[in-house]
Chains A and B, each alone.
Chain A
Amino acid sequence: MAETKFTRPTFATEAIKSDINSVSFLGNPVLDNLVSVVIALGTEVWATKRRMKVMESVMAKKGVTTKMIEEYVPTAEEAAAWEKDRDRFIELTFGPLGNEGTLTVSAPLPKRG
């Protein structure tokens, strides 16, 4: 996030910044970074799930019950569209697990032709 520009008095002063992002606990900074990513993603996933719960509760009070949601059968068009979106989601999030990673950083460009 870009540094916030405040338009009102803040009564804040300069802090001595921590170096928390420089440490590796797992012997490989990439792994450390991945753990940070996973926890941040968990936070966002839970926020989404919790919002869904709130929506279901609100809708139930308006006559759309959880039972109606659970028993809903998608139309053929919906099912096809959702399946396509599911596959896109899986490819986006888990696709990198299939990367071979066999080249070194200094590997030259592959020969063409």
Chain B
Amino acid sequence: MLGRRNLFTTAGAAAAGISSFFAGRAVEAKAAVKKVVGDVELRGADGRLERFGSLDLESQMDFTAGFREFNNRGISRVAAQRFQTLMKEKGMDPKVPVTFEQMLPIAENDPIIGMSAKTWLANQQVTWKTLQDYFHANADMYLAEMEAADKSGPGSLELNPTMAIPDYTRYEIHIQPGGYVGDPFAGHMYHYGTNSFYIGAIGHNEQDQIHKGTANNIPAPADGKVKRILEMGCGVGQMACALKERFPDAEVWAIDIGGPMVRYGHMRARDLGIDVNFAQRLAENTGFPDGYFDMTTSYIIHHELPQTATRAVIAEAQRITRSGGVYYPVDFNTGGNTGPAYGLFRRWWDHRWNQEVWSREYHTLDFNAEIVKGGFTHIKETKAALPGFGARHFVRNA
């Protein structure tokens, strides 16, 4: 992975990442690289992002990122128009929100509507397969790289290979092969795959721009004391790293159920020279002492949890956050399970076929109310830390 280097943290460097997703200008920074023992960096890096290990993989991912945008702006619009036509034919007003049950019969056998979902999902499968094929074909090299990183710092890594893994975490979310627990390169695939997702959704994130922006927007406790920070369900720890960069004196922890996820996250943080403690633990059973953290956060995990787990995670957050400490779980706005028909169709196949297994449960939850019920006060005047997502600034009650 990335060698320690003079990181691109300026706006100019971020813009460099934005202007060219895959361009390999990191070669310019090579002179500043101090190699880490066991580090595999075959083709240099673009700022914080190591370039893909082969030109073919880079090009394949370039195609799938481009196709995703093409789907969103082209095929999907045609499908949305088709939905309107069909609804009018059935005497329905396309502007009136419908339920899943009303929407599905319209979509069920229409090839134009079906094509929008089919092409998006087929592209998603190709994205994952090209990544998985590459890392599996080079498994020994990349596993050895992680082994070399496991016990070195900065930061630390705790793996718990015998821990019980709840079934709800075992699904292949986003149809990522093996999900977050079932493939040794889950972290590698997730990191590169989600970079592609971001482009078509909320912007570029190759330099962790979105995580950094979010971390910088999360309010600190009113008393200004930030000694310890936690990111629950950290994935590959991009927000935990951004929080450590914002609060360099704080002890930062990042936990996730996926062993391969925290392993990759630790390796990447280490290579970036960021001191974060990664641990394979459950968000609803963190093992930290009562009131340990000044800030407890998460980044888009709750829509991947059943409601029972969400409530358990909130209870755990209440236990481990100190009085007056901040709880900020970044996630989608919840808005029930009705909506404009085509948007609802996309939500349907995202849930059913893109394996957002728990998203329907999440969307029927009044997430803010659950957190208040769990012992927090909602600070409503704070803007959303991640624009377009829920404003979730909560303070733990005394």
Contact = CB atoms under 8 A, between A and B. Distances in A.
Q: Do A and B interact?
A: yes
A61 to B, nearest CB: 14
A36 B122 contact: yes
B196 interface: no
Interface string B272-315: 00000000100000000000000000000000000000000000
B259 A20 contact: no
B249 interface: no
A6 B139 contact: yes
Contacts of A35: 115, 118-119, 122
A79 B30 CA distance: 44
B181 A13 contact: yes
A42 B136 contact: no
Given A15-B182, A25-B118, A39-B122, A46 B136 contact: no
Contacts of A14: 170, 182
A76 interface: no
Contact of A27 (B66, B114, B184, B259): B114
A11 to B, nearest CB: 3
Given A35-B118, A39-B67, A43-B63, A12 B181 contact: yes
A20 B186 contact: no
A39 B119 contact: yes
Interface in B342-362: 353, 355
B10 interface: no
Contacts of B263: 11
B353 A46 contact: no
Interface string A26-43: 110001100110011011
Contacts of B165: 13
B167 to A, nearest CB: 7
A20 B109 CA distance: 17
Which of B118, B143, B175, B181 counts the most A-chain CB atoms under 10 A from its CB?
A: B118
Contacts of A8: 139-140, 143-144, 147
Contact of A12 (B115, B123, B147, B260): B260
Contacts, number: 123
Contacts of A44: 60
A40 B126 contact: yes
Interface in B129-188: 130, 133, 136, 139-140, 143-144, 147, 159, 161, 165, 167, 170-172, 175, 178-179, 181-184, 186
A10 B184 contact: yes
Interface in B26-64: 55-56, 58-60, 62-64
Size bin of chain A's contact surface: 20 to 34
Contact of B143 (A1, A10, A46): A10
A6 B66 CA distance: 33
B170 A16 contact: yes
Contacts of B125: 20, 36
Given A15-B170, A18-B172, A36-B122, A27 B182 contact: no
Contacts of B109: 27
B145 to A, nearest CB: 10
A43 B55 contact: no
Contacts of B63: 42-43, 46-47
Nearest to B130: A43
B98 interface: no
18 contacts: A6-B143, A9-B143, A11-B280, A12-B186, A14-B182, A16-B171, A16-B179, A17-B172, A20-B125, A25-B111, A32-B118, A35-B115, A39-B126, A43-B60, A43-B63, A43-B126, A50-B59, A51-B56
Interface of A: 1, 4, 6-18, 20, 23, 25-27, 31-32, 35-36, 39-40, 42-44, 46-47, 50-51, 54
Interface of B: 55-56, 58-60, 62-64, 66-67, 109, 111, 114-115, 117-119, 121-123, 125-126, 130, 133, 136, 139-140, 143-144, 147, 159, 161, 165, 167, 170-172, 175, 178-179, 181-184, 186, 259-260, 263, 280, 353, 355
For the complex of A and B, list the 4 residue pairs with the smallest distance between their C-beta atoms, beginning with the closest. Answer: A15-B182, A11-B259, A25-B114, A10-B184
